[in-house]
Chain A
Amino acid sequence: MKSFTVLQKCSRPATPLVLDFLAPSTIRYRQYHATPSSAAEPQSSPKPKYVLNKKQREFLESALRVNQAGELAATLIYTAQTPQVVRSHPHLRPLMKHMYDQEAGHLSTFNKMIAKHRVRPTAMYPVWEAAATFLGWSTGVMGREAAMACTEAVETEIGSHYNEQVREILSWEADAQSRGEELDDELKDMLATFRRIRDEELEHLDHAVENDSKEAQPYDPLVNVIRLGCRTAIKISERV
Protein backbone atom coordinates (compact mmCIF):
# COMPACT_ATOMS: atom_id res chain seq x y z
CA MET A 1 0.00 0.00 0.00
CA LYS A 2 2.71 2.37 1.03
CA SER A 3 4.86 1.67 -1.98
CA PHE A 4 1.80 2.17 -4.14
CA THR A 5 1.14 5.66 -2.82
CA VAL A 6 4.79 6.52 -3.21
CA LEU A 7 4.71 5.27 -6.78
CA GLN A 8 1.65 7.31 -7.45
CA LYS A 9 3.25 10.36 -5.98
CA CYS A 10 6.20 9.96 -8.31
CA SER A 11 4.04 9.53 -11.38
CA ARG A 12 2.17 12.74 -10.66
CA PRO A 13 3.76 15.83 -12.10
CA ALA A 14 5.42 17.86 -9.40
CA THR A 15 3.00 20.52 -8.25
CA PRO A 16 4.05 23.82 -6.74
CA LEU A 17 3.88 24.00 -2.99
CA VAL A 18 0.97 26.41 -2.96
CA LEU A 19 -1.31 23.85 -4.52
CA ASP A 20 -0.99 21.11 -1.97
CA PHE A 21 -4.49 21.74 -0.78
CA LEU A 22 -5.87 21.20 -4.25
CA ALA A 23 -5.17 17.52 -4.22
CA PRO A 24 -6.07 16.54 -0.70
CA SER A 25 -7.43 13.28 -1.96
CA THR A 26 -4.32 11.29 -2.82
CA ILE A 27 -2.73 10.34 0.44
CA ARG A 28 -4.66 11.40 3.47
CA TYR A 29 -8.03 10.70 1.93
CA ARG A 30 -7.11 7.06 2.00
CA GLN A 31 -6.42 7.05 5.71
CA TYR A 32 -9.60 8.89 6.41
CA HIS A 33 -11.65 6.30 4.62
CA ALA A 34 -9.57 3.35 5.70
CA THR A 35 -11.76 0.40 6.60
CA PRO A 36 -10.66 -2.74 8.43
CA SER A 37 -10.57 -4.64 5.13
CA SER A 38 -8.12 -2.22 3.56
CA ALA A 39 -6.00 -2.16 6.70
CA ALA A 40 -5.32 -5.85 6.20
CA GLU A 41 -4.12 -5.33 2.65
CA PRO A 42 -0.35 -4.93 3.04
CA GLN A 43 0.26 -8.52 4.17
CA SER A 44 -2.16 -10.19 1.82
CA SER A 45 -1.33 -8.52 -1.50
CA PRO A 46 2.11 -7.31 -2.41
CA LYS A 47 1.04 -6.94 -6.06
CA PRO A 48 0.37 -3.42 -7.35
CA LYS A 49 -3.28 -2.51 -7.79
CA TYR A 50 -4.88 -2.08 -11.15
CA VAL A 51 -5.78 1.57 -11.74
CA LEU A 52 -9.07 2.15 -13.50
CA ASN A 53 -9.02 4.55 -16.39
CA LYS A 54 -11.71 7.09 -17.14
CA LYS A 55 -13.64 4.85 -19.49
CA GLN A 56 -13.72 2.03 -16.97
CA ARG A 57 -14.95 4.35 -14.26
CA GLU A 58 -17.68 5.52 -16.59
CA PHE A 59 -18.60 1.92 -17.31
CA LEU A 60 -18.85 1.09 -13.61
CA GLU A 61 -20.88 4.20 -12.98
CA SER A 62 -23.49 3.41 -15.60
CA ALA A 63 -23.46 -0.30 -14.70
CA LEU A 64 -24.24 0.42 -11.05
CA ARG A 65 -26.94 2.89 -12.02
CA VAL A 66 -28.63 0.40 -14.37
CA ASN A 67 -28.41 -2.40 -11.81
CA GLN A 68 -30.00 -0.31 -9.11
CA ALA A 69 -32.82 0.75 -11.44
CA GLY A 70 -33.29 -2.86 -12.54
CA GLU A 71 -33.53 -4.22 -9.02
CA LEU A 72 -35.89 -1.42 -8.05
CA ALA A 73 -38.14 -2.38 -10.96
CA ALA A 74 -37.90 -6.07 -10.08
CA THR A 75 -39.00 -5.55 -6.47
CA LEU A 76 -41.92 -3.40 -7.62
CA ILE A 77 -42.97 -5.94 -10.25
CA TYR A 78 -43.06 -8.73 -7.67
CA THR A 79 -44.85 -6.50 -5.15
CA ALA A 80 -47.57 -5.73 -7.67
CA GLN A 81 -47.89 -9.32 -8.98
CA THR A 82 -47.95 -11.18 -5.70
CA PRO A 83 -51.52 -10.42 -4.48
CA GLN A 84 -53.21 -11.45 -7.73
CA VAL A 85 -51.08 -14.53 -8.33
CA VAL A 86 -51.32 -15.71 -4.74
CA ARG A 87 -55.10 -15.21 -4.64
CA SER A 88 -55.77 -17.78 -7.32
CA HIS A 89 -52.73 -19.99 -6.67
CA PRO A 90 -51.97 -19.99 -2.93
CA HIS A 91 -49.27 -22.64 -3.37
CA LEU A 92 -47.11 -20.00 -5.12
CA ARG A 93 -46.93 -17.83 -2.02
CA PRO A 94 -43.55 -19.18 -0.76
CA LEU A 95 -42.04 -18.94 -4.24
CA MET A 96 -43.18 -15.32 -4.77
CA LYS A 97 -41.96 -14.40 -1.31
CA HIS A 98 -38.61 -16.07 -1.92
CA MET A 99 -38.11 -14.24 -5.24
CA TYR A 100 -39.23 -10.93 -3.74
CA ASP A 101 -36.89 -11.28 -0.77
CA GLN A 102 -33.95 -11.97 -3.05
CA GLU A 103 -34.75 -8.93 -5.21
CA ALA A 104 -35.11 -6.73 -2.13
CA GLY A 105 -31.70 -7.94 -0.98
CA HIS A 106 -30.20 -7.08 -4.37
CA LEU A 107 -31.79 -3.64 -4.27
CA SER A 108 -30.31 -2.84 -0.88
CA THR A 109 -26.90 -4.13 -2.08
CA PHE A 110 -26.96 -1.75 -5.02
CA ASN A 111 -28.34 1.13 -2.96
CA LYS A 112 -25.34 0.77 -0.69
CA MET A 113 -22.94 0.58 -3.63
CA ILE A 114 -24.47 3.67 -5.23
CA ALA A 115 -24.13 5.69 -2.04
CA LYS A 116 -20.61 4.42 -1.39
CA HIS A 117 -19.26 5.15 -4.84
CA ARG A 118 -21.18 8.41 -5.25
CA VAL A 119 -22.92 7.25 -8.39
CA ARG A 120 -25.80 9.37 -9.58
CA PRO A 121 -29.08 7.43 -9.43
CA THR A 122 -31.11 7.44 -12.61
CA ALA A 123 -33.17 10.54 -13.27
CA MET A 124 -36.00 8.32 -14.52
CA TYR A 125 -36.46 6.88 -11.03
CA PRO A 126 -40.14 7.92 -10.62
CA VAL A 127 -40.91 6.84 -14.20
CA TRP A 128 -39.44 3.38 -13.66
CA GLU A 129 -41.36 3.08 -10.40
CA ALA A 130 -44.64 3.75 -12.16
CA ALA A 131 -43.79 1.60 -15.19
CA ALA A 132 -42.65 -1.38 -13.12
CA THR A 133 -45.72 -1.26 -10.89
CA PHE A 134 -47.96 -1.10 -13.95
CA LEU A 135 -46.13 -3.99 -15.64
CA GLY A 136 -46.37 -6.16 -12.53
CA TRP A 137 -50.00 -5.31 -11.94
CA SER A 138 -51.13 -5.85 -15.53
CA THR A 139 -49.34 -9.20 -15.95
CA GLY A 140 -50.69 -10.23 -12.55
CA VAL A 141 -54.23 -9.46 -13.74
CA MET A 142 -53.62 -11.56 -16.87
CA GLY A 143 -53.01 -14.61 -14.71
CA ARG A 144 -50.30 -16.83 -13.35
CA GLU A 145 -48.86 -17.81 -16.76
CA ALA A 146 -48.58 -14.20 -17.93
CA ALA A 147 -46.98 -13.18 -14.64
CA MET A 148 -44.45 -15.98 -15.02
CA ALA A 149 -43.85 -15.03 -18.67
CA CYS A 150 -43.14 -11.50 -17.47
CA THR A 151 -40.66 -12.84 -14.94
CA GLU A 152 -39.08 -14.98 -17.63
CA ALA A 153 -38.67 -12.04 -20.04
CA VAL A 154 -37.34 -9.66 -17.43
CA GLU A 155 -34.90 -12.14 -15.90
CA THR A 156 -33.60 -13.16 -19.33
CA GLU A 157 -32.70 -9.56 -20.12
CA ILE A 158 -31.32 -8.80 -16.67
CA GLY A 159 -29.33 -12.04 -16.53
CA SER A 160 -27.66 -11.39 -19.86
CA HIS A 161 -26.99 -7.81 -18.81
CA TYR A 162 -25.23 -8.96 -15.63
CA ASN A 163 -23.34 -11.45 -17.74
CA GLU A 164 -21.98 -8.65 -19.92
CA GLN A 165 -20.85 -6.75 -16.85
CA VAL A 166 -19.13 -9.80 -15.39
CA ARG A 167 -17.41 -10.37 -18.73
CA GLU A 168 -16.21 -6.74 -18.80
CA ILE A 169 -14.75 -6.90 -15.27
CA LEU A 170 -13.14 -10.25 -16.09
CA SER A 171 -11.48 -8.63 -19.11
CA TRP A 172 -10.04 -5.97 -16.76
CA GLU A 173 -8.81 -8.73 -14.51
CA ALA A 174 -7.07 -10.40 -17.45
CA ASP A 175 -5.59 -7.06 -18.42
CA ALA A 176 -4.37 -6.52 -14.86
CA GLN A 177 -2.80 -9.97 -14.76
CA SER A 178 -0.97 -9.40 -18.02
CA ARG A 179 0.57 -6.30 -16.42
CA GLY A 180 1.42 -8.12 -13.19
CA GLU A 181 -1.21 -6.21 -11.24
CA GLU A 182 -4.43 -7.20 -9.57
CA LEU A 183 -7.87 -5.71 -9.04
CA ASP A 184 -8.55 -4.03 -5.73
CA ASP A 185 -10.67 -5.83 -3.15
CA GLU A 186 -13.74 -3.75 -3.85
CA LEU A 187 -13.75 -4.75 -7.48
CA LYS A 188 -13.22 -8.38 -6.58
CA ASP A 189 -16.16 -8.20 -4.18
CA MET A 190 -18.21 -6.48 -6.83
CA LEU A 191 -17.38 -9.20 -9.34
CA ALA A 192 -18.42 -11.89 -6.85
CA THR A 193 -21.62 -9.99 -6.06
CA PHE A 194 -22.51 -9.60 -9.74
CA ARG A 195 -21.96 -13.33 -10.30
CA ARG A 196 -24.08 -14.30 -7.32
CA ILE A 197 -26.88 -11.95 -8.32
CA ARG A 198 -26.78 -13.14 -11.93
CA ASP A 199 -27.14 -16.75 -10.77
CA GLU A 200 -30.07 -15.83 -8.56
CA GLU A 201 -31.79 -14.01 -11.40
CA LEU A 202 -31.35 -17.01 -13.68
CA GLU A 203 -32.75 -19.19 -10.90
CA HIS A 204 -35.89 -17.03 -11.00
CA LEU A 205 -36.00 -17.65 -14.73
CA ASP A 206 -36.00 -21.41 -14.10
CA HIS A 207 -38.79 -21.08 -11.52
CA ALA A 208 -40.83 -19.09 -14.03
CA VAL A 209 -40.42 -21.71 -16.74
CA GLU A 210 -41.30 -24.49 -14.26
CA ASN A 211 -44.52 -22.63 -13.51
CA ASP A 212 -45.80 -22.73 -17.08
CA SER A 213 -44.61 -19.35 -18.29
CA LYS A 214 -44.48 -20.82 -21.81
CA GLU A 215 -48.25 -21.35 -21.72
CA ALA A 216 -49.06 -17.67 -21.41
CA GLN A 217 -51.44 -16.38 -24.06
CA PRO A 218 -50.28 -14.69 -26.31
CA TYR A 219 -46.76 -15.79 -25.38
CA ASP A 220 -44.57 -14.34 -28.15
CA PRO A 221 -45.92 -10.80 -28.36
CA LEU A 222 -46.03 -10.48 -24.58
CA VAL A 223 -42.47 -11.66 -24.01
CA ASN A 224 -41.09 -9.69 -26.93
CA VAL A 225 -42.73 -6.45 -25.82
CA ILE A 226 -41.45 -6.86 -22.26
CA ARG A 227 -37.93 -7.71 -23.42
CA LEU A 228 -37.87 -4.74 -25.76
CA GLY A 229 -39.07 -2.52 -22.92
CA CYS A 230 -36.33 -3.85 -20.63
CA ARG A 231 -33.62 -3.23 -23.20
CA THR A 232 -34.87 0.32 -23.81
CA ALA A 233 -34.99 1.01 -20.09
CA ILE A 234 -31.43 -0.31 -19.69
CA LYS A 235 -30.20 1.92 -22.52
CA ILE A 236 -31.91 4.98 -21.05
CA SER A 237 -30.72 4.32 -17.49
CA GLU A 238 -27.15 3.92 -18.68
CA ARG A 239 -27.20 7.55 -19.78
CA VAL A 240 -29.57 9.48 -17.54
Chain B
Amino acid sequence: MARPALRPLRICRNSLLSYSCTPQRSILATITATIPQNNLRQPAALRSHLPTQRLYHSQHHPDLPPHEYTNSQTTILSAALKHVPAHGFTKDALVLGARDTGFLDVSVQLLPRGEFDLILFWLASRRGLLRAAVEQNGLLATSDGVNAIPASVEEKTKTLIMKRLRMNKDIRHQWQDALALMSYPSNIPLSLSELHALSSDILHLAGDASVDASWYTKRLSVSAIYASAEVIMTRDSSPDLAATEAFVTRRVEDSKAIGDKLSGAKQCLGFMGSTAVGLGRSWGLKI
Protein backbone atom coordinates (compact mmCIF):
# COMPACT_ATOMS: atom_id res chain seq x y z
CA MET B 1 0.00 0.00 0.00
CA ALA B 2 3.03 2.32 -0.02
CA ARG B 3 2.37 3.71 -3.45
CA PRO B 4 -1.23 4.86 -3.09
CA ALA B 5 -0.34 6.78 0.06
CA LEU B 6 2.14 8.82 -1.93
CA ARG B 7 -0.45 10.04 -4.39
CA PRO B 8 -1.49 13.19 -2.51
CA LEU B 9 2.16 14.21 -2.19
CA ARG B 10 2.53 13.92 -5.92
CA ILE B 11 -0.43 16.17 -6.42
CA CYS B 12 1.06 18.71 -4.02
CA ARG B 13 4.34 18.71 -5.85
CA ASN B 14 2.67 19.61 -9.07
CA SER B 15 3.06 23.35 -9.38
CA LEU B 16 -0.09 23.75 -11.40
CA LEU B 17 -2.25 22.24 -8.74
CA SER B 18 -0.48 23.23 -5.57
CA TYR B 19 -2.99 25.92 -4.66
CA SER B 20 -5.73 23.35 -4.44
CA CYS B 21 -3.82 21.18 -2.01
CA THR B 22 -5.47 22.21 1.20
CA PRO B 23 -4.69 20.00 4.20
CA GLN B 24 -8.25 18.60 4.40
CA ARG B 25 -8.12 17.50 0.83
CA SER B 26 -4.88 15.62 1.07
CA ILE B 27 -5.97 13.98 4.31
CA LEU B 28 -9.18 12.85 2.69
CA ALA B 29 -7.30 11.62 -0.31
CA THR B 30 -4.82 9.78 1.91
CA ILE B 31 -7.57 8.11 3.88
CA THR B 32 -9.48 6.97 0.86
CA ALA B 33 -6.36 5.94 -0.94
CA THR B 34 -5.04 3.81 1.91
CA ILE B 35 -8.29 1.99 2.56
CA PRO B 36 -7.86 -1.37 0.90
CA GLN B 37 -9.78 -1.80 -2.32
CA ASN B 38 -12.85 -3.17 -0.64
CA ASN B 39 -15.61 -4.47 -2.84
CA LEU B 40 -18.28 -2.85 -0.66
CA ARG B 41 -16.89 0.57 -1.41
CA GLN B 42 -17.33 0.21 -5.12
CA PRO B 43 -20.61 0.70 -6.91
CA ALA B 44 -22.07 -2.49 -8.31
CA ALA B 45 -21.43 -1.38 -11.85
CA LEU B 46 -17.71 -1.25 -11.23
CA ARG B 47 -17.55 -4.56 -9.43
CA SER B 48 -19.03 -6.32 -12.42
CA HIS B 49 -17.09 -4.54 -15.12
CA LEU B 50 -15.77 -7.82 -16.40
CA PRO B 51 -17.38 -10.13 -18.89
CA THR B 52 -19.93 -8.02 -20.70
CA GLN B 53 -18.41 -9.22 -23.95
CA ARG B 54 -19.35 -12.82 -23.49
CA LEU B 55 -23.09 -12.41 -23.63
CA TYR B 56 -25.48 -13.35 -26.37
CA HIS B 57 -25.51 -10.68 -29.10
CA SER B 58 -28.44 -10.08 -31.38
CA GLN B 59 -29.57 -7.47 -33.83
CA HIS B 60 -32.83 -7.24 -31.89
CA HIS B 61 -31.10 -6.50 -28.61
CA PRO B 62 -28.73 -3.54 -28.68
CA ASP B 63 -25.11 -4.18 -27.87
CA LEU B 64 -24.05 -3.22 -24.41
CA PRO B 65 -21.96 -0.05 -24.28
CA PRO B 66 -18.23 -0.82 -24.08
CA HIS B 67 -18.02 0.15 -20.39
CA GLU B 68 -20.27 0.48 -17.36
CA TYR B 69 -19.45 3.88 -15.93
CA THR B 70 -22.23 6.14 -14.71
CA ASN B 71 -22.97 9.49 -16.30
CA SER B 72 -21.00 11.67 -13.91
CA GLN B 73 -18.10 9.27 -14.07
CA THR B 74 -18.06 9.34 -17.87
CA THR B 75 -18.30 13.13 -17.86
CA ILE B 76 -15.26 13.49 -15.63
CA LEU B 77 -13.33 10.79 -17.45
CA SER B 78 -13.95 12.08 -20.94
CA ALA B 79 -12.96 15.59 -19.90
CA ALA B 80 -9.89 14.18 -18.22
CA LEU B 81 -8.84 12.45 -21.44
CA LYS B 82 -8.15 15.89 -22.95
CA HIS B 83 -5.49 16.46 -20.31
CA VAL B 84 -3.80 13.12 -20.78
CA PRO B 85 -1.32 14.24 -23.48
CA ALA B 86 0.02 16.90 -21.12
CA HIS B 87 -0.38 15.26 -17.72
CA GLY B 88 -0.38 11.56 -18.45
CA PHE B 89 -2.72 9.02 -16.92
CA THR B 90 -2.51 10.61 -13.49
CA LYS B 91 -4.70 11.99 -10.73
CA ASP B 92 -3.81 15.44 -12.07
CA ALA B 93 -5.55 14.75 -15.36
CA LEU B 94 -8.58 13.48 -13.46
CA VAL B 95 -8.70 16.55 -11.23
CA LEU B 96 -8.36 18.88 -14.21
CA GLY B 97 -11.08 16.99 -16.02
CA ALA B 98 -13.39 17.23 -13.01
CA ARG B 99 -12.75 20.96 -12.83
CA ASP B 100 -13.41 21.46 -16.55
CA THR B 101 -16.82 19.91 -16.19
CA GLY B 102 -17.70 21.89 -13.08
CA PHE B 103 -17.23 19.18 -10.49
CA LEU B 104 -15.40 19.72 -7.22
CA ASP B 105 -11.86 18.41 -7.06
CA VAL B 106 -12.93 15.87 -4.50
CA SER B 107 -15.39 14.24 -6.92
CA VAL B 108 -12.42 12.36 -8.32
CA GLN B 109 -13.31 9.98 -5.49
CA LEU B 110 -16.21 8.84 -7.63
CA LEU B 111 -13.61 6.72 -9.39
CA PRO B 112 -12.44 4.19 -6.86
CA ARG B 113 -9.55 2.96 -9.00
CA GLY B 114 -8.21 6.45 -9.71
CA GLU B 115 -5.77 6.58 -12.61
CA PHE B 116 -6.49 3.02 -13.58
CA ASP B 117 -10.11 4.00 -14.20
CA LEU B 118 -8.84 6.65 -16.59
CA ILE B 119 -6.82 4.04 -18.46
CA LEU B 120 -9.72 1.61 -18.58
CA PHE B 121 -11.98 4.35 -19.83
CA TRP B 122 -9.48 5.27 -22.50
CA LEU B 123 -9.28 1.65 -23.66
CA ALA B 124 -13.03 1.07 -23.58
CA SER B 125 -13.93 4.31 -25.33
CA ARG B 126 -11.33 3.78 -28.05
CA ARG B 127 -12.78 0.32 -28.55
CA GLY B 128 -16.19 1.95 -28.96
CA LEU B 129 -14.69 4.37 -31.49
CA LEU B 130 -13.19 1.49 -33.43
CA ARG B 131 -16.57 -0.22 -33.55
CA ALA B 132 -18.18 3.02 -34.70
CA ALA B 133 -15.49 3.56 -37.36
CA VAL B 134 -16.34 0.24 -38.94
CA GLU B 135 -20.07 0.26 -38.52
CA GLN B 136 -20.81 3.89 -39.30
CA ASN B 137 -17.91 5.23 -41.32
CA GLY B 138 -17.34 2.07 -43.33
CA LEU B 139 -13.68 1.66 -42.44
CA LEU B 140 -13.52 -1.80 -43.97
CA ALA B 141 -15.90 -1.16 -46.87
CA THR B 142 -14.40 -2.33 -50.14
CA SER B 143 -13.88 0.09 -53.00
CA ASP B 144 -16.63 0.31 -55.59
CA GLY B 145 -14.68 -1.41 -58.34
CA VAL B 146 -16.53 -4.35 -59.87
CA ASN B 147 -13.53 -6.65 -59.63
CA ALA B 148 -12.55 -5.55 -56.14
CA ILE B 149 -11.47 -8.61 -54.18
CA PRO B 150 -12.91 -8.52 -50.67
CA ALA B 151 -10.12 -8.23 -48.13
CA SER B 152 -9.26 -11.38 -46.22
CA VAL B 153 -9.85 -11.66 -42.49
CA GLU B 154 -6.11 -11.25 -41.86
CA GLU B 155 -5.93 -8.03 -43.87
CA LYS B 156 -8.96 -6.63 -42.11
CA THR B 157 -7.49 -7.62 -38.76
CA LYS B 158 -4.30 -5.79 -39.64
CA THR B 159 -6.22 -2.68 -40.73
CA LEU B 160 -8.19 -2.69 -37.50
CA ILE B 161 -5.12 -3.18 -35.31
CA MET B 162 -3.40 -0.26 -37.05
CA LYS B 163 -6.50 1.90 -36.78
CA ARG B 164 -6.63 1.20 -33.07
CA LEU B 165 -2.90 1.87 -32.61
CA ARG B 166 -3.16 5.19 -34.47
CA MET B 167 -5.75 6.28 -31.92
CA ASN B 168 -2.94 6.12 -29.36
CA LYS B 169 -0.81 8.56 -31.35
CA ASP B 170 -1.41 11.64 -29.20
CA ILE B 171 -0.79 9.87 -25.93
CA ARG B 172 2.08 7.71 -27.16
CA HIS B 173 4.62 9.34 -24.86
CA GLN B 174 2.40 8.63 -21.82
CA TRP B 175 1.56 5.08 -22.74
CA GLN B 176 4.53 3.36 -21.07
CA ASP B 177 3.37 4.71 -17.70
CA ALA B 178 -0.08 3.40 -18.43
CA LEU B 179 1.30 -0.01 -19.36
CA ALA B 180 3.24 -0.05 -16.11
CA LEU B 181 0.10 0.72 -14.14
CA MET B 182 -1.86 -1.89 -16.05
CA SER B 183 0.67 -4.54 -15.17
CA TYR B 184 0.16 -4.05 -11.43
CA PRO B 185 -0.89 -7.44 -10.04
CA SER B 186 -4.26 -6.11 -8.87
CA ASN B 187 -4.93 -4.51 -12.25
CA ILE B 188 -3.95 -7.44 -14.44
CA PRO B 189 -7.36 -9.19 -14.53
CA LEU B 190 -9.18 -6.10 -15.75
CA SER B 191 -6.43 -5.21 -18.21
CA LEU B 192 -6.52 -8.69 -19.68
CA SER B 193 -10.28 -8.75 -19.94
CA GLU B 194 -10.18 -5.43 -21.75
CA LEU B 195 -7.51 -6.79 -24.08
CA HIS B 196 -9.67 -9.83 -24.73
CA ALA B 197 -12.66 -7.60 -25.41
CA LEU B 198 -10.61 -5.63 -27.92
CA SER B 199 -9.29 -8.67 -29.76
CA SER B 200 -12.74 -10.20 -29.75
CA ASP B 201 -14.22 -7.03 -31.21
CA ILE B 202 -11.48 -6.79 -33.83
CA LEU B 203 -12.03 -10.37 -34.97
CA HIS B 204 -15.77 -9.93 -35.03
CA LEU B 205 -15.52 -6.73 -37.05
CA ALA B 206 -13.05 -8.40 -39.40
CA GLY B 207 -15.72 -11.01 -40.09
CA ASP B 208 -14.09 -13.98 -38.42
CA ALA B 209 -16.63 -16.75 -37.80
CA SER B 210 -14.62 -19.49 -36.13
CA VAL B 211 -16.70 -21.70 -33.89
CA ASP B 212 -14.16 -24.24 -32.65
CA ALA B 213 -10.94 -24.20 -30.68
CA SER B 214 -9.46 -21.72 -33.17
CA TRP B 215 -11.80 -19.14 -31.57
CA TYR B 216 -9.38 -19.16 -28.64
CA THR B 217 -6.11 -19.32 -30.56
CA LYS B 218 -7.16 -16.49 -32.88
CA ARG B 219 -8.08 -14.23 -29.99
CA LEU B 220 -4.83 -15.09 -28.25
CA SER B 221 -2.73 -14.28 -31.30
CA VAL B 222 -4.52 -10.98 -32.00
CA SER B 223 -4.07 -10.02 -28.34
CA ALA B 224 -0.39 -10.88 -28.46
CA ILE B 225 0.15 -8.95 -31.69
CA TYR B 226 -1.70 -5.93 -30.38
CA ALA B 227 0.01 -5.89 -26.99
CA SER B 228 3.51 -6.21 -28.45
CA ALA B 229 2.76 -3.61 -31.15
CA GLU B 230 1.68 -1.23 -28.40
CA VAL B 231 5.08 -1.54 -26.76
CA ILE B 232 6.82 -1.00 -30.12
CA MET B 233 4.64 2.03 -30.73
CA THR B 234 5.79 3.79 -27.59
CA ARG B 235 9.31 3.91 -29.03
CA ASP B 236 8.39 4.44 -32.66
CA SER B 237 9.52 7.83 -34.00
CA SER B 238 8.90 7.13 -37.69
CA PRO B 239 6.29 9.25 -39.48
CA ASP B 240 2.74 7.88 -39.27
CA LEU B 241 3.89 4.89 -37.23
CA ALA B 242 5.47 3.26 -40.28
CA ALA B 243 7.77 1.10 -38.16
CA THR B 244 4.88 -0.14 -36.07
CA GLU B 245 2.89 -0.91 -39.16
CA ALA B 246 5.75 -2.93 -40.57
CA PHE B 247 6.00 -4.77 -37.25
CA VAL B 248 2.28 -5.56 -37.25
CA THR B 249 2.44 -6.74 -40.86
CA ARG B 250 5.28 -9.11 -40.03
CA ARG B 251 3.52 -10.47 -36.94
CA VAL B 252 0.25 -11.05 -38.81
CA GLU B 253 2.15 -12.90 -41.52
CA ASP B 254 3.98 -14.94 -38.89
CA SER B 255 0.82 -15.95 -37.16
CA LYS B 256 -0.78 -16.88 -40.45
CA ALA B 257 2.26 -18.97 -41.37
CA ILE B 258 2.19 -20.75 -38.01
CA GLY B 259 -1.54 -21.36 -38.32
CA ASP B 260 -1.12 -22.78 -41.82
CA LYS B 261 1.72 -25.06 -40.69
CA LEU B 262 -0.31 -26.34 -37.75
CA SER B 263 -3.43 -27.01 -39.78
CA GLY B 264 -1.29 -28.69 -42.47
CA ALA B 265 0.34 -30.94 -39.88
CA LYS B 266 -3.04 -31.75 -38.37
CA GLN B 267 -4.47 -32.61 -41.77
CA CYS B 268 -1.49 -34.81 -42.58
CA LEU B 269 -1.84 -36.71 -39.29
CA GLY B 270 -5.56 -37.08 -39.91
CA PHE B 271 -4.95 -38.60 -43.35
CA MET B 272 -2.32 -40.98 -41.98
CA GLY B 273 -4.64 -42.03 -39.17
CA SER B 274 -7.61 -42.67 -41.42
CA THR B 275 -5.38 -44.55 -43.88
CA ALA B 276 -4.13 -46.78 -41.07
CA VAL B 277 -7.66 -47.45 -39.83
CA GLY B 278 -8.89 -48.14 -43.35
CA LEU B 279 -5.97 -50.50 -43.99
CA GLY B 280 -6.72 -52.37 -40.77
CA ARG B 281 -10.38 -52.68 -41.69
CA SER B 282 -9.54 -53.98 -45.14
CA TRP B 283 -7.46 -56.71 -43.47
CA GLY B 284 -10.53 -57.69 -41.51
CA LEU B 285 -9.54 -56.23 -38.14
CA LYS B 286 -12.56 -55.27 -36.04
CA ILE B 287 -11.60 -51.65 -35.56
Q: A-side interface residues toward B, CB under 8 Å? A: 8, 13-16, 18-19, 21-26, 28-30, 32-35, 38, 49, 51-52, 54, 57-58, 60-61, 64, 68, 83-84, 87, 111, 114-115, 117-121, 123, 125-126, 137, 141, 184-187
B residues less than 8 Å from A61 (CB atoms): 54-56
A residues less than 8 Å from B75 (CB atoms): 16, 18
A residues less than 8 Å from B79 (CB atoms): 18
The answer to whether B211 touches A25 (Cβ under 8 A) is no
The answer to whether A24 touches B136 (Cβ under 8 A) is yes
Contact with A along B65-96 (1 / 0, CB 8 A): 11100010011001100000000000000000
The answer to whether B55 touches A35 (Cβ under 8 A) is no
CA distance A30 to B75 in the complex (A): 26
Which segment, of B127-135, B173-181, B249-257, faces chain A? Answer: B127-135
Number of A-B contacts (CB under 8 A): 108
21 sampled A-B residue pairs with Cβ under 8 A: A15-B74, A22-B74, A24-B135, A24-B136, A25-B62, A25-B65, A26-B62, A28-B135, A29-B59, A29-B63, A30-B62, A38-B59, A52-B61, A57-B55, A58-B55, A64-B56, A83-B281, A121-B215, A125-B212, A184-B60, A186-B59
From B71, B125, B135, contact of A13 by CB (8 A): B71
CA distance A16 to B76 in the complex (A): 11
Q: B-side interface residues toward A, CB under 8 Å? A: 54-67, 71, 74-75, 78-79, 125, 128-129, 131-132, 135-136, 200, 204, 209-213, 215-216, 281, 286-287
CA distance A26 to B131 in the complex (A): 12
Interface contacts beyond A14-B71, A18-B78: sample of 11 additional A-B pairs, CB < 8 Å, sorted by A: A21-B132, A22-B125, A33-B59, A57-B55, A57-B61, A58-B56, A61-B55, A117-B56, A118-B56, A141-B287, A184-B60
CA distance A103 to B284 in the complex (A): 29
B residues less than 8 Å from A38 (CB atoms): 59-60
CA distance A33 to B60 in the complex (A): 10
The answer to whether B67 touches A22 (Cβ under 8 A) is yes
The answer to whether A111 touches B211 (Cβ under 8 A) is yes
Given known pairs A24-B135, A25-B63, A26-B62, the reply for A19 and B78 (CB within 8 Å) is yes
A residues less than 8 Å from B66 (CB atoms): 22
The answer to whether B213 touches A57 (Cβ under 8 A) is no
A residues less than 8 Å from B212 (CB atoms): 121, 125
The answer to whether A49 touches B60 (Cβ under 8 A) is yes
A residues less than 8 Å from B132 (CB atoms): 21, 24
The answer to whether B125 touches A21 (Cβ under 8 A) is yes
The answer to whether A117 touches B57 (Cβ under 8 A) is yes
CA distance A21 to B137 in the complex (A): 12
The answer to whether B128 touches A21 (Cβ under 8 A) is yes
The answer to whether B204 touches A24 (Cβ under 8 A) is no
B residues less than 8 Å from A84 (CB atoms): 286-287
The answer to whether A21 touches B57 (Cβ under 8 A) is no
Shortest CB-to-CB span from B242 to chain A, Å, is 27
The answer to whether A117 touches B58 (Cβ under 8 A) is yes
From A25, A57, A125, contact of B56 by CB (8 A): A57
A residues less than 8 Å from B216 (CB atoms): 123
Residue of B nearest to A64 (CB): B56
Residue of A nearest to B72 (CB): A16
A residues less than 8 Å from B286 (CB atoms): 84, 141
Shortest CB-to-CB span from B210 to chain A, Å, is 8
From A49, A118, A137, A141, contact of B57 by CB (8 A): A118
Residue of A nearest to B284 (CB): A87
CA distance A61 to B61 in the complex (A): 14
Residue of B nearest to A60 (CB): B56
CA distance A53 to B209 in the complex (A): 25
Q: Which of A24, A121, A123 lies at the interface centre, i.e. has the most chain B CB atoms within 10 A of its CB?
A: A24
A residues less than 8 Å from B67 (CB atoms): 22
CA distance A51 to B54 in the complex (A): 18
A-B pairs, 7 with minimum CB distance: A25-B63, A184-B60, A24-B132, A115-B209, A118-B57, A60-B56, A33-B59
The answer to whether A118 touches B204 (Cβ under 8 A) is yes
Shortest CB-to-CB span from B60 to chain A, Å, is 4
Shortest CB-to-CB span from A229 to chain B, Å, is 21
Shortest CB-to-CB span from A179 to chain B, Å, is 16
From B61, B131, B211, contact of A121 by CB (8 A): B211
